[in-house]
Structure 1
């Protein structure tokens, strides 16, 4: 499945669990880039403008759920003086950091130049680097729980970028749900067969009576 087919799958088969949010306005995204003097990773920009600006847990869902990707407010142009998650300031790291407190950086430093893609619990999450030498990479933020920050796909031959990350995330959720969906379809198919058989029997009985 391509990315649009995967999103359609979410809309049709997983709409009881996830909300596929409206796309971002291209004008807002362009203004964001201009204001913070950066260029967003190409595939991420394509995704939020053409696919969805977020795939989030449906608040009616009764069970455990994590956002696939959180929405982002591209209209927020007031972060330029903010010490936290300021898109104007470069993300400083290029190598995995497992003891952040022993470096020259604190948590405010390593949130700058990033977009927070989704939370993973306990203040941790996934970040897309939008400014700095690690531009375009996905980093795992576990500073709050483990004092560490490291690139996704670290020990893999998969290229660490948004396109691979979002496709892997969507594939994981789709593959997890496919057996249940297949079972439901098979059950419906059997119900239809039984219903058609009963209708045929009833019609046959009616014809015998009429004769």
Structure 2
């Protein structure tokens, strides 16, 4: 079912690698347009069983037909086993990837973070709630946008299969990915191919 779009994606990735010889596209110097080894069906199943999730079909197909990380938007694709942590840089706290991501529309806390009337304890309580792992439950991080912002694939919940942004570090909340000026919700393959198309346009202009 996904062989044709993934073959098209791999062809575009090869074209981008050939045309961007000096790695002008953001993040290219890190991944060099190379994908990590594909996973076999048993590896995908082991990951799903370990973390009690069912990966969206587009992403499963990409893992088995294209690669398990490497070349991709921003700083590249993270490997699935790296995307289960809450922190982008420290692999210390696991995210509840099997939990339910409940949001269907953009969310942010209605909080005045500069309200001087808040006590230190109240401020700390607000921050603990805002950054609580329950907010990112059901998300698998797939890419690092930079500046603490993560790109995530919803693996459980009503927005299953969509790409969402976690921008809480900049008090931007959590919202569907519209970074490519898209008005529609993006699924994994559309997100990845849109990045390729925009990158090719950038190199060719």
What TM-score do you get using the length of structure 1 for normalisation? 0.65
- Partners of 2:109 and 2:101 in 1: CA distance: 17
* 1:156 CA displacement: 4.6
Per-residue CA deviations over 1:85-133 (Å, capped at 9, x if unaligned) read 2222122322211227679764311222111111122211211100112
Classify the secondary structure of the residue corresponding to 1:89: coil
State how far apart, in whole Å, the 2-side matches of 1:25 and 1:164 are: 23
User: Counterpart in 1 of 2:52?
Assistant: 37
1:82-121 aligned within 5 A: 84-99=94-109, 106-121=131-146
Q: Secondary structure at the match of 2:101?
A: coil
- 1:143, CA displacement in angstroms? 0.5
- Residues 138-160 of structure 1: per-residue CA shift (max 9 Å, x gap): 11111001241111249854343
Report the CA distance shift for 1:133/1:96 in structure 2 as closer, same or farther (over 3 A). same
- Higher-Rg structure is 1
Matched, 1:171 2:194: no
In 1, the alpha carbon distance for the partners of 2:46 and 2:97 equals 13
Q: Is the Cα contact below 8 Å between 1:91 and 1:129 reproduced in 2?
A: yes
Q: 3-state SS of the aligned residue for 1:2?
A: helix
**Distance in 2 separating the partners of 1:128 and 1:137:** 6
Q: Which has more helix, going by share of residues?
A: 1
Per the alignment, in what secondary structure is the counterpart of residue 38 of structure 1?
coil
1:4-19 equivalences in 2 (<5 Å) = 4-14=10-20, 17=28, 18-19=32-33
Aligned with residue 2 of structure 1, among 5, 8, 11: 8
Aligned partners of 2:69 and 2:172: how far apart in 1? 27
Q: Secondary structure of 2:140's partner?
A: strand
Deviation for aligned residue 1:39:
1.6
Q: Which has the higher contact order (CA 8 A, sep 6+)?
A: 2
Match of 2:34 in 1: 20
- Structure 2: unaligned runs, 5 residues or longer: 1-6, 85-91, 112-125
**Gaps spanning 5+ residues in structure 1: where?**
58-64, 77-81, 180-211
Q: Does 1:125 align with 2:150?
A: yes
Task: State the partner residue of 1:183.
Answer: none
Q: Distance in 2 between matches of 1:24 and 1:14?
A: 27
- CA distance in structure 1 between the partners assigned to 2:190 and 2:57 by the alignment: 13
Question: What is the alpha-carbon distance in structure 1 between the residues aligned to residue 104 and residue 131 of structure 2?
Answer: 15
TM-score by length of 2: 0.67
- Which among 66, 70, 89 is matched to residue 74 of structure 2? 66
- CA change 1:45–1:100 in 2 (3 A) is farther
